[in-house]
Structure 1
Amino acid sequence: MDATPSPLSPDAPLRRDSHEGEGATRGTARMEAFADGVFAIAFTLPVFNIVMPTLGGRGSDLGSDLLAGWPHHLGYLIASLIIALYWVHHHFSGAIYRTTGHSFLLATALFLTMIGYIAFPVRAFAESIPHPGALPDAARFLSVALALTSLSWLTKWSVGRHFGHVDDRLDPAYVDRLTRTYRRMSAWNVAAALIAWVDWRIGLAMSAAGLLAKLKPPETPRYCTEAPVIEGEA
Structure 2
Amino acid sequence: MKTARLEAFSDGVFAIAITLLIIEIKVPEDTSHLLTKLGELWPSYLGFVISFLVIGLIWANHHAMFDHIVTADRTLLFLNTVLLMLVVFIPFSAGVLAAAFRTGESERTSVVLYGVVLVAGGIPFNAIWEYARRNHRLLGPSITPAEAKRIARRFYLGPVLYGVGTLLGALVPALGIAVFALLIPYYWLPPAMHWLRKPQPAQPAE
Give me the TM-score of the superposition, normalised by structure 2: 0.83
Give the CA deviation at 1:195: 4.5
Give the secondary structure class of the aligned counterpart of 1:221: helix
Whether 1:45 and 2:17 are equivalent positions in the alignment is no
Give the secondary structure class of the aligned counterpart of 2:87: helix
Whether 1:206 and 2:168 are equivalent positions in the alignment is no
* Structure 1, gaps ≥5 residues long: 1-25, 230-234
- Distance (whole Å) between structure 1 residues aligned to residue 172 and residue 25 of structure 2: 30
- Distance (whole Å) between structure 1 residues aligned to residue 48 and residue 196 of structure 2: 36
1:61-76 paired onto structure 2 within 5 Å: 61-76=33-48
Distance of aligned partners of 1:204 and 1:152 in 2 relative to their CA distance in 1, 3 Å threshold:
farther
- Distance (whole Å) between structure 1 residues aligned to residue 174 and residue 62 of structure 2: 29
1:187-202 paired onto structure 2 within 5 Å: 187-202=160-175
1:54-203 paired onto structure 2 within 5 Å: 54=29, 59-162=31-134, 164-203=137-176
Amino acid at match of 2:22: V
- Greater RCO structure (CA 8 Å; 6+ sep): 2
Larger % of helix: which?
2
Give the secondary structure class of the aligned counterpart of 2:70: coil
Give the CA deviation at 1:140: 1.3
- Distance (whole Å) between structure 1 residues aligned to residue 73 and residue 166 of structure 2: 32
Whether 1:221 and 2:183 are equivalent positions in the alignment is no
* Structure 2, gaps ≥5 residues long: 202-206
- Distance (whole Å) between structure 2 residues aligned to residue 49 and residue 184 of structure 1: 30
Give the CA deviation at 1:124: 1.3
Q: CA-to-partner distance for each residue in 1:114-141, whole Å, 9 max, x for gaps?
A: 1111111122112212333311111111
Contact 1:107–1:159 under 8 Å retained in 2: no
**Quick check: which has more Rg, 1 or 2?**
1
Give the CA deviation at 1:69: 2.5
Q: CA-to-partner distance for each residue in 1:48-73, whole Å, 9 max, x for gaps?
A: 11212225xxx543333222233223
Distance of aligned partners of 1:124 and 1:184 in 2 relative to their CA distance in 1, 3 Å threshold:
same
Q: Would you say how many aligned residue pairs link Structure 1 and Structure 2?
A: 199
Distance of aligned partners of 1:202 and 1:31 in 2 relative to their CA distance in 1, 3 Å threshold:
same
Structure 1 range deviating more: 29-38 or 122-131? 122-131
Give me the TM-score of the superposition, normalised by structure 1: 0.74
Distance of aligned partners of 1:86 and 1:222 in 2 relative to their CA distance in 1, 3 Å threshold:
closer
Distance of aligned partners of 1:74 and 1:196 in 2 relative to their CA distance in 1, 3 Å threshold:
closer
Give the CA deviation at 1:97: 0.6
- Distance (whole Å) between structure 2 residues aligned to residue 222 and residue 126 of structure 1: 34
- Distance (whole Å) between structure 2 residues aligned to residue 88 and residue 77 of structure 1: 16
- Distance (whole Å) between structure 1 residues aligned to residue 170 and residue 26 of structure 2: 32
Root mean square deviation, CA, Å = 2.5
Amino acid at match of 1:30: R
Give the secondary structure class of the aligned counterpart of 1:130: helix
